[in-house]
Amino acid sequence: MVPSVDAIFSRDCIRDQAWTWRGTGKVIFVCAKHFKDDCFSNLRQHQEGFAERLSLIEESVPSIYGDDGRTALRTRRKNAWSPFSTRSSHRGLHGCMSAWVIDEYGSNAVLRFTEEVPVPALPSPAHLLLKVHASSLNPLDLLMRGGYGAKLLQLRREPLALGGRNEFPLVLGRDVSGVVLECGAEVTHFRPGDEVWAAVPPWKQGSLAEFVTLSEYEVSHKPHSLSHTEAASIPYVASTALSALINAGGLCAETTPHKRVLIIGASGGVGTFSIQMLKAWGAHVTVTCSHNAEGLVRGLGADEAVDYTSGDTVHTLEAMDRFDVILDSVGGETEQWALPLLRPWSGSKYVSLVTPLLSSTDHLGLLAGGMQSGWALSNKLLQRLLSRGVFYRWGFYAPDGPALDHVRALVDSGKVLPVVEAQFPFTQVPQAFLKLEAGHARGKTVVCVTQEDSSEAGEQEQEAPQHQACSP
């Protein structure tokens, strides 16, 4: 039972609300044991006379992860923060969180706001619980909203369920910038209160929610120089670009200087990040984009920009020296004209981000779809190698906290900038999806999840009805 008190603070509100709470009554602070030493003593120091009024409840009110605690603490829900409620002076403790979920696949109409999603429990001692400050949208969110990859992703989520359970309610959102709230016993690299960023794998519950759990390996400390809103624009596209460029393209900081790289489709999320990454590694970067994105891509460092809408893209590119690596984020027919642009018989690589793997398994089932994709890839690989002496590869997103550590260093040294095209408050997630659906991205669309960031995004939307173009 929850005793009658003036305020209850959970570990997730300690930094934001408890420190600024100016009430005079009795206060209860519910926390996990390992969190106690750091934050409890911080609280005592922070407010004079606070210690006498402060009780630590560790046993009598269970953690919000426990069922009993969840039930008891739901009684405090009237204090719970919601993007739709007014801002309150302190945040109540609760076992459920706000999130945007889908309960079926479909159009934007399937997006549903709810405050009834249980706060996720740590799935293992190597996991962390994060408070999400900002998230961002990727084309994958649109595709997943419509059911893309459903079969393969569900197999990854529940390998032993054999179709017995479904994935709903499903939370989308692949990027997170936020704060560590709780660390499993085996987490060594992070502490509660650390500011972090990560790309949430598509087989996990996403970041369009107040909280998300991730493994220690998937998380990285956020760049100091970025706000949460800016930081949330980077992790998923960075993880994809790095995986594609390093694992499939064979590039890295040491081998890239003076290599000629072509990025097909450079004005969106992956492209704007890749230009900067490659320039930081010393590559010569040529890109294709539409004419009105030329200023953006050149500003990010592209050496040559070719307007793909001009009608003579191929001729223009053919007149240039051959490339060592092509990163294709457009797919389809591009590979027909792009492959001859590679330097033959010299280990050059064509890396496509647009692969049929997930759609094949959706349409043909896991086994047949997987086999067909495997056959298509090996066939293309062999053909391209034998006929042109170039390697043909698919690039995929891969969760990689250490890779984000590398990106953090580049961001903090000013070599990589966030490219935030539009930002939406948490109340306007459907509008953010519509923005993405309209296409022609110029960088990233960010969703500010916390109340403070949401208010800022709301204010900026009012000031500038057209989506705000921020950096670079």
Ligand X SMILES: NC(=O)c1ccc[n+]([C@@H]2O[C@H](COP(=O)([O-])OP(=O)(O)OC[C@H]3O[C@@H](n4cnc5c(N)ncnc54)[C@H](OP(=O)(O)O)[C@@H]3O)[C@@H](O)[C@H]2O)c1
Q: Kindly list the residues in this chain that would bind ligand X in the complex (CB under 6 A).
A: 138-140, 237, 240, 264-265, 267-271, 288-290, 308, 329-330, 353-355, 395-397, 439-441
For residue 343, give both structure tokens: 């330097």
Pair 61, 72: CB distance under 8 Å: yes
Phi, psi of 339 (to 5 degrees): -60, -40
Other C-beta atoms within 10 Å of 154: how many?
A: 18
Using DSSP, state whether 328 is helix, strand or coil: strand
For residue 445, give both structure tokens: 């669309």
Other C-beta atoms within 10 Å of 290: how many?
A: 15
How would you classify the pairing of strands 170-171 and 211-215?
Answer: unpaired
Work out the angle at residue 341's Cα, subtended by the Cα atoms of residues 337 and 345, and round it to the nearest 5 degrees. 125
Q: Which residue is associated with the tokens 């109409």? A: 109
C-alpha Rg value of the chain to the nearest Å: 24
- Closest to ligand X by CB, 213 vs 233, is 233
Instruction: Determine the residue type at 136.
Output: S
Distances (CA, A) of 144 to 173, 351, 358, 433: 10, 23, 10, 12
Pair 179, 231: CB distance under 8 Å: no
C-alpha 207/C-alpha 191 separation (Å) is: 20
Q: What share of the chain is helix, strand, coil (3-state, %, to 5)?
A: 40, 20, 40
Other C-beta atoms within 10 Å of 265: how many?
A: 22
Pair 287, 297: CB distance under 8 Å: yes
Instruction: Output b/e per residue, 351-376; b: 16+ Cβ within 10 A.
Output: bbbbbbbbebbbeeeeeebbebbeee
Q: Which residue is associated with the tokens 């495997």? A: 374
C-alpha 365/C-alpha 327 separation (Å) is: 29
Could you tell me which of 282, 283, 277 has the C-alpha nearest to residue 262?
283
Q: Residue 169: is the preceding peptide bond cis (ω within 30°)?
A: yes
For residue 76, give both structure tokens: 């405090």
In what helix (H) or strand (E) does residue 155 lie, and over which residues does it extend?
A: helix 150-157
For residue 283, give both structure tokens: 């590559």
